[in-house]
Amino acid sequence: MTSPHPPLRSYGRLKSRTIKPRQAALMDTLLPAIRAPLEPFEPRALMPGAAEVWLEIGFGGGEHLAAQAAKRPDVLFIGAEPFQNGVASALRHIDEAELKNVRVHDGDARDLLARLPDASLERVFILFPDPWPKARHHKRRLLQADTAAELARVLKVGGRLRFASDWADYVDWSLERLIATPGLSWTADRASDWRTPPADHVTTRYEEKRLGDCAPAFLDFVRT
């Protein structure tokens, strides 16, 4: 039975400034062609022969998503982002790089997770999500116990989850919930493991703005 009360939104506005004409055109032409299915689906059916399937939740302007997809054309990338200006920006990156291995969900990532089968992903990225810093808004944060459990469900054994934030309280919050999630194991052995950007990390313009209250922290977990 469908719950009469959908989960609280973990994101703010759906749109801000007017989308540029070229990007608006891509919303009408490219997005329908690469939109992730709106019903339960097997990711590999979207790209037969894909070596792996990676998911980025909250891809912002799409810089990280497009850069990773360009480096790994053998991997199917699924990006989830509700902010329409971000989706439009990502479509421009996808179009300019002529990427054929990206699919987009322009909505709440939790709806997408619910449509994925168990153990269907090799990697998940959650990079610099909305921190909702005020205590009364913490219930809106994406990383809740139930979301962490869903992430563990869709990851294959050996699959990896990366969470990054530059808000100290949100890092602590997320670490507490991820450590408590059965099937997820933190890979860090020393402080440099979370203080130093991973070798395969792609720094975006948003990250460079340093809008948080601490240096970026990177929490890598593996599905056991």
Q: Which residues contact 13 (CB under 8 A, 6 or more apart)?
A: 83
Report the alpha-carbon distance of residue 224 to residue 204 in Å, rounded. 30
CB 218 within 8 A of CB 164: yes
Report the alpha-carbon distance of residue 199 to residue 201 in Å, rounded. 6
Catalytic residue among 106, 108, 130, 166: 130
CA distances (Å), origin 21, targets 85, 92, 212, 220: 12, 11, 32, 38
Q: Nearest-5° angle of CA 76, CA 218, CA 170?
A: 110
Sign (positive or negative) of CA dihedral 44, 46, 47, 52: negative
Q: Is 130 a catalytic residue?
A: yes
The residues annotated with a catalytic role in the active site are 130
